[in-house]
Amino acid sequence: MSVYSHVWRRIVPVLLIGAVAQAALADLSGAFDGFDAVFEARVSGLTSSYFDYTRAG
């Protein structure tokens, strides 16, 4: 039983910290959704124009 309690004491803080971090990241991603969409559009535009350039060249 001591092994289980030791493992449990190791796992619970990690799970709690992971849950808090995941919630914080979800809030941040919600705040940056607009920025993310603009960034993705720019990156996809750059990559598509780059591939067009390499195919043409």
Q: How does pLDDT run across 5-34, given as a tens digit for each residue? A: 888 888 888 888 888 888 887 777 666 666
Distances 27 to 17, 20, 23 between C-alpha atoms, Å: 15, 11, 6
Question: Given its phi and psi angles, is residue 15 left (phi above 0), alpha (psi -120 to 50 degrees) or beta?
Answer: alpha
pTM of the model: 0.41
> Confidence band (pLDDT; 50, 70, 90) for 1?
low
Helices (H), 1-57: 2-31, 33-56
Which residue's entry shows tokens 């720019």? 42
Give the separation between CA 19 and CA 25, rounded to whole angstroms.
10
